[in-house]
Amino acid sequence: MLALLAFATAVAGEAMSAGLFHPKVGSLANGLRIVVIEDHRAPVVTHMVWYRVGAADEPPGKSGIAHFLEHLMFKGTTKVGSGGFSKIVARNGGRDNAFTSHDYTGYYQNVARDKLDLVMSLEADRMVNLRLDPEDVETEREVILEERRSRTDNKPSAQLSEAMHATQFMAHPYGIPVIGWQHEIEALSREDALAFYRTYYAPNNAILIVAGDVTAEQVMALAETHYGGIPRADTPARRRPQEPPQLAARRVELRDARVNQADLRRSYLAPSRSAGETRHAVPLSLFAEMLGGGTTSRLYQELVVKRKLAASAGAYYSATNLDRRTFSLYVTPSPGVTVTAAEQAMDEVLAAVLRDGFEAAELARSRTGMLAAAIYARDSLFTSPRIFGDALTSGLTVEQVEGWPDEVRAVTMEQVMAAGRAVLDPRRSVTGLLLPEG
Amino acid sequence: MSLSRLLIGLPLLGLLWLYPAIAGATEIQRVRSPGGITAWLVREPTIPLISVSFSFAGGATLDDPRRKGTANMVSGLLDEGAGGLDSLAFQTRLEELAVRLSFDADRDSFTGGLRTLTENRDAAFDLLRLALTKPRFDGVAVERIRRQIITGLKEDQENPNAVVGRTWFAMAFKDHPYALPTRGSQDSVAAITADDLRSFVASALARDRLTIGVVGDIGAAELAPLLDATFGGLPESTERTMIGETAPVTDAGLKVVEMEIPQSRVMFGAAGLKRDDPDWYAAYVLNYVLGGGGFASRLYDEVREKRGLAYSVYSYLYPLDHAGIHLGGVGTQNGRVAEALTVIRQQFAKARDEGINADELANAKTFLNGSFPLRLTSSGRIARLLVAIQRENLGIDYFDRRPELINAVTLADVKRVAKRLLRPEKMLVVVVGKPVGLEAGE
């Protein structure tokens, strides 16, 4: 009853904002947060549970345990046999999967609306009743080592990314790959997984997100039935080691006989909407767009179109991270152009932009693009729940997600330039080179 | 970055064809313009946007083999300057309107898509018209896109997934256009001239091979004149001859391409079924049970779940316009490739000899029918499905008939098609890596 009251209040509050996805929000007495995005275009729903725990919350020396546990969550409970979860979902015409990042671990099922009750009962069951057969753990570790080979060890470019993150983050665990270091994966045990599970998998550390052809009232009632009886856990606060001030530029060079095409990348330590100088985060998104977001951007026009030094060039930045993360640049040199020449040209573009700024028309176009992207995001049933899950596990609120278009509209050129100048400081950079051997 | 429990890579290409379906609730209208251009439309006014998808049959098979990659290069250049707008002006206009325009070439078709907010509808369709009918192919833009393609081709050489696919198709289709990669080779791309690009547009992008799907905030009366305005300037008929029927030759058995990587990438396959084959649905059910069912297939159980041999293992039907193929893939550390292949071959042989059981058949039907509305979850996806259904002549009532077609499949049908489809001893297996215990070469 208490929960329903909280729900009603939240709904009333929500109606006042101009908003974007117009979610309805609530919570259960055990602390489970609930977000519902009603969308009645097709008779389907997506049901997601996001835990506020990711690879950056792992104990030292146990890299990969968040992701390993994510795989093991499909290995059965007191009620469902090993591998049974996904098979039950499939036998009910649904699709399921799960994902792990540095800041979150998420599970979802896409099903016909009349199967919501079923998948909720399954997801609630494995929030508390996980049972792990030691043999399943051994086999799944092999699967994850294969996954690591596929994603990273088979690809020099992915190995360079891993090395750059490790170099950018000397203290913060964003420097450790989500999948884990191979030697640490090899040593992860069943007990490690269960300890991590018991510590972090609890309703007060989870967010339930349902989008689709269902009403918020229906979701609340079902959530109370399935999740309402699960007790809270004493989940630790998320305090990760933070980076010391970076005073010196760092460089990483990966040479590999497999490389045919050289590559240049750079990252800078950057604030997010949740950490560091948060006021820079939204302006920095617009800065990234104008600097290197598309074919009319400065980097592309200067390096690819005018000077023909590069086949591609750009910049990207995500404002949604629990802690400070990175602002990134990349340049793929044209045939016959050295990475040194490409780097020099890239630095010239950066210097010119930081000195002279952008034109008003560039800011207007970037703003138009971002506002349109917010409307396009409403088109896919699966996009909005991902946006909320990402935001709510990264220290943001529902109001901040809904307020994104207003924030983008309000950004001034002065704020954009202040953000760019604050972040693109060479002393806080990591430059990475991918080169053929020799 | 976020990792998924299962990353579905290669088969996506095939999946569009495996799930050509839409919910019964979705109403499709056939819109015929005054000028005789047809599009299928699903009106969805909830969100103020419109998605358009279109396809010209032929695609990269219409390339001159010495200039392979022409269709692909055209797809990279149509939005790089058209009419009175040079590349920068055209791209700037797209950004000002927040219009997303895309073109792509695959083995059988030249495809494109448009997404616009309703408020910019007419301007967006006009940019599409310009791109299709008045592309400029300015020298600087052509050289820039050529540079990008060649750079991508160089990167492919170090990408085992790209190498395994290229090698499989080159060996299976020999002198047929399907043997050649859509993006061509560094040499063939270097040889393409602006005249080749213009000639491709003039002779391969015509109304007689055009299929259109539209979804979103637009009605039939508004769409009809836009169809004429946008596509009416295209030539009426295609001047290039379509290629003939073929089938993959997979007797070569095993091919190892050495690469210094810790995990071998493997592609295996043989002749499959075309989409209009009477046994299509039986094959579709069979493949779901064998290797198509995500976390619920025999290959997944035997290779990943029981033995930890791979992160991804799958099979899929790949029905081209002029050949049917049944393909699969797996990635396994070099020391265990032989074991993984043995397990996969055993599973193929078992399904060929015994078919599937009644439970598997029932589960496959429930999934294939129940999951199909999940494909209707964005306007772009629905628009692409409308095109696929038209291209395969499945009929405007296909969504209603599809459950019956799947439910009609019997155990005997699956057994019959299994004998025809599954020939583990005839598969062409390409391995890229440093596999241990496999005979190298052929």
The CATH number of B13-231, from 3.30.70.260, 1.25.40.20, 3.30.70.270, 3.30.830.10, is: 3.30.830.10
One domain, residues A390 and A274: yes
Contact assignment for B366 to A143 by CB distance below 8 Å? no
Q: Give the orientation angle of helix A116-128 with respect to helix A216-227, to 10 degrees.
A: 40
Residue pointed to by tokens 């400065």: A298
Copy the structure tokens of residue A139.
């086999």
What mean pLDDT comes out for the span A77-93? 95
Is A294 part of a structural domain of the chain? yes
Q: Report pLDDT digits (tens) over A203-238.
A: 999 999 999 999 999 999 999 999 999 999 999 999
Indicate the residue of B150, B311, B377 with minimum beta-carbon distance to A147.
Answer: B311
Contact assignment for B374 to A296 by CB distance below 8 Å? no
> Residue A353 belongs to a domain with what CATH number?
3.30.830.10
Copy the structure tokens of residue B229.
């305005």
DSSP-derived secondary structure for B180-222: S-TT--HHHHHH--HHHHHHHHHHHS-GGGEEEEEEES--HHH
Q: Work out how many domains chain A is built from and give that number.
A: 2
Contact assignment for A312 to B148 by CB distance below 8 Å? yes
Kindly tell me if the per-residue pLDDT of A122 is higher than 70. Answer: yes
Instruction: Report which of A13, A33, A89, A19 is spatially closest to residue A393, judged by C-alpha positions.
Output: A33
One domain, residues A162 and A307: no
Kindly tell me if the per-residue pLDDT of A4 is higher than 70. Answer: no
Amino acid A374 reads A
Copy the structure tokens of residue A220.
């609340």
CB contacts of A267 in chain B (<8 Å) are none
Q: Give dist(CA B92, CA A306) in Å, integer.
A: 16
One domain, residues A217 and A335: no
Active-site residue, from A38, A58, A70, A302:
A70
Q: Give dist(CA A220, CA A210) in Å, integer.
A: 10
Is A327 part of a structural domain of the chain? yes
Q: Report pLDDT digits (tens) over A257-268.
A: 999 999 999 999
Considering only alpha carbons, which residue of chain B is nearest residue A174?
Answer: B1
Q: Which of A175, A194, A227 is the last residue of a domain?
A: A227
β pairing state of A250-256 and A429-436? parallel
The pLDDT assigned to B9 comes to 37
Chain B closest CA to A280's CA: distance in Å?
22
Contacts of residue A361, defined as CB under 8 A and 6 or more positions apart, other chains included, come to: none
Q: Give dist(CA A58, CA A239) in Å, integer.
A: 11
β pairing state of A429-436 and A263-270? antiparallel
Label residue A60 exposed, middle or buried (CB < 10 Å: 0-12, 13-18, 19+).
Answer: exposed
Q: How many residues does chain A have?
A: 438
Residue to test with chain B: of A72, A75, A379, A383, most B Cβ within 10 A: A379
DSSP-derived secondary structure for A409-421: HH--HHHHHHHHH
Considering only alpha carbons, which residue of chain B is nearest residue A363?
Answer: B96
Structural domain range at position A94:
2-13+20-227
Is A234 part of a structural domain of the chain? no
The CATH number of B254-433, from 3.40.50.150, 3.90.1170.40, 3.40.50.970, 3.30.830.10, is: 3.30.830.10
Contact assignment for B95 to A93 by CB distance below 8 Å? no
The pLDDT assigned to B439 comes to 65
One domain, residues A263 and A219: no
CB contacts of B294 in chain A (<8 Å) are 86, 90, 95
Q: Give dist(CA A395, CA A274) in Å, integer.
A: 6
Percent of chain A with pLDDT over 90: 95
- Model ipTM value: 0.92
Instruction: Report which of A3, A398, A33 is spatially closest to residue A208, judged by C-alpha positions.
Output: A33
The pLDDT assigned to B7 comes to 52
Mean pLDDT, chain A, as a whole number? 94
Copy the structure tokens of residue A364.
């207007």
Q: Give the orientation angle of helix A134-148 with respect to helix A190-200, to 10 degrees.
A: 90
Q: How many residues does chain B have?
A: 442
The pLDDT assigned to B6 comes to 59
The pLDDT assigned to A181 comes to 98
Q: Give dist(CA B321, CA A375) in Å, integer.
A: 36
Is the CB of residue A270 less than 8 Å from the CB of residue A284? yes
Label residue A230 exposed, middle or buried (CB < 10 Å: 0-12, 13-18, 19+).
Answer: buried
Contact assignment for A294 to B373 by CB distance below 8 Å? no
Considering only alpha carbons, which residue of chain B is nearest residue A84?
Answer: B296
Is A204 part of a structural domain of the chain? yes
Copy the structure tokens of residue B342.
């043995």
Percent of chain B with pLDDT over 70: 93
Indicate the residue of A102, A149, A369 with minimum beta-carbon distance to B95.
Answer: A369
Q: Report pLDDT digits (tens) over A353-395.
A: 999 999 999 999 999 999 999 999 999 999 999 999 999 999 9
Is A232 part of a structural domain of the chain? no
Alpha-helical runs (H) found in A15-96: 65-72, 84-91
Instruction: Report which of B70, B46, B44, B47 is spatially closest to residue B59, judged by C-alpha positions.
Output: B70
Copy the structure tokens of residue A8.
């009603």
Indicate the residue of B115, B150, B293 with minimum beta-carbon distance to A335.
Answer: B150
Considering only alpha carbons, which residue of chain A is nearest residue B141?
Answer: A305
Copy the structure tokens of residue A3.
């929960």
Contact assignment for B307 to A332 by CB distance below 8 Å? no
Residue to test with chain B: of A44, A118, A144, A337, most B Cβ within 10 A: A44
The pLDDT assigned to B293 comes to 83
Number of Cβ pairs closer than 8 Å across A and B? 210
Q: How far is CA A6 from CA A29, A78, B258, in A?
A: 10, 33, 62
Catalytic (active site) residue A140:
no
Is A233 part of a structural domain of the chain? no
Chain B closest CA to A272's CA: distance in Å?
15
Q: Report pLDDT digits (tens) over A123-182.
A: 999 999 999 999 999 999 999 999 999 999 999 999 999 999 999 999 999 999 999 999
CB contacts of A147 in chain B (<8 Å) are 3, 311
The pLDDT assigned to A1 comes to 32
Q: Flag residues of chain B having pLDDT under 50.
A: 8-25, 440-442
Chain A closest CA to B49's CA: distance in Å?
8
Q: Give dist(CA B117, CA B100) in Å, integer.
A: 10
CB contacts of A96 in chain B (<8 Å) are 295
The pLDDT assigned to A159 comes to 97
Q: How far is CA B354 from CA A194, A257, B424, in A?
A: 41, 47, 14
One domain, residues A158 and A282: no
Where do you find CATH 3.30.830.10 in chain B? Answer: 13-231, 254-433
Residue pointed to by tokens 């006014």: B45
CB contacts of B307 in chain A (<8 Å) are 139, 142
Kindly tell me if the per-residue pLDDT of A6 is higher than 50. Answer: no
CB contacts of B154 in chain A (<8 Å) are 260-261, 335
Is A243 part of a structural domain of the chain? no
Residue A431 phi, psi dihedral angles, 5° rounding: -110, 130
Label residue B276 exposed, middle or buried (CB < 10 Å: 0-12, 13-18, 19+).
Answer: exposed
Is A242 part of a structural domain of the chain? no
Q: Give dist(CA B181, CA B105) in Å, integer.
A: 11
